[in-house]
Amino acid sequence: MEDHPHALTMQREMIREVEAAKPKFVVFVMVPTSWLRRPTSKRQIFDWATAYVRTGHRLVGWIDLPSGDSEEAQFYWDRDALEHRGQARERVLVYERVP
């Protein structure tokens, strides 16, 4: 997510690789330190990913990550994931490709 001349080219390359591989699962790690996104970062990969999972994928997992040392991650799978509306700032979402 660094701001440099090849950032958008690198994002487009990743998009092509994912689309060509057609992975069975897509995992979104929604943690600021995972991507290190900056205010000047190109957003194409995020916009594409949001649209990509909405077409031909279904949510199968939702993990709320702890915000403090005393908390534990909370896992929701299948129907529970679909019905869960987590409040955690940091989370992981798992999508499965629909055949």
pLDDT in tens, 55-88: 999 999 999 999 877 789 999 999 999 999 888 9
Residue 46: HSE in the Cβ half-sphere, 13 Å Cα cutoff: 11
* pLDDT score recorded for residue 3: 81
pLDDT averaged over the chain?
92
How big is the CA angle at 2 (ends 37 and 69), to the nearest 5 degrees? 40
Q: How confident is the model at residue 92 (pLDDT cuts 50, 70, 90)?
A: very high
Q: pTM of the full predicted structure?
A: 0.88
Average pLDDT score over residue span 8-26: 96
